[in-house]
Amino acid sequence: MNIRLLSFIAAFSLAFAAVAAFASNSEDDLQSSVIADSTEYLTGIQRTVELALRGEYGRLRRGADRRLLSARDRIAGLLKGHPTTTELGPKDRIDLVNAEEVIKAIIKNDDKDRLVCKYEAATGSRMATKECLTVAEREARAKRARRNTIEARQHVCYVSVTGGEGQTCIK
């Protein structure tokens, strides 16, 4: 079974590396990385999902079957009526990569390693930029932000307005 899983991961990674390149910010990369035949691609995704549901890649966690089918349906919906991925808009390409990553994470039984791409506007800007991080990286960033907020609050100085003299600092 381990050999099947490793061969699946290798085949999946090679076959769909083109779509993963859509996560980059370069328009040149977007133009050169294309799924040439969406029908063939969807057939491969369907086969992979069926094997996973039968347990060929190992036992699935509870609820993983619904997530797997949902990701498959999302991919099919995005590619419906589009023979290649060049016809998809940037947001749909990112959604496609995210749905693929969900399938990979479920099969590998490793959700923390799943890549999630989002368009986010930088503070003070209206221009959205693409940001791709794994679930583990996003959680680590959130944890750092919480820790930094707590530390910043511990070193706040304020002026007493109740008649006290000077500043009071909490450290």
pLDDT tens string 16-32:
444 444 444 443 333 33
Q: Is the pLDDT of residue 57 over 60?
A: yes
- What are the sequence ranges of the domains in the chain? 2-132
Hey, which residues does 134 pair with through a beta bridge?
115
Which of the two residues, 110 and 67, has the higher pLDDT score? 67
**In whole numbers, what is the pLDDT of the chain averaged over residues?**
76
Confidence of residue 132 (pLDDT cuts 50, 70, 90): confident
**Paired tokens of 82:** 């589009």
pLDDT by residue (tens digit) across 28-44? 333 334 678 888 989 99
Cα–Cα distances (Å) from 47 to 12, 62, 129, 160, in that order, read 12, 21, 34, 68
Q: What is the reported pLDDT for 68?
A: 93
Q: What is the reported pLDDT for 8?
A: 56
Q: What is the reported pLDDT for 150?
A: 82
Question: With a threshold of 0.85, does the pTM exceed it?
Answer: no
Going by the DSSP 8-state scheme, the letter that residue 80 receives in this structure is: T
Q: What is the reported pLDDT for 26?
A: 40
Q: What is the reported pLDDT for 21?
A: 42
**Paired tokens of 65:** 């079957």
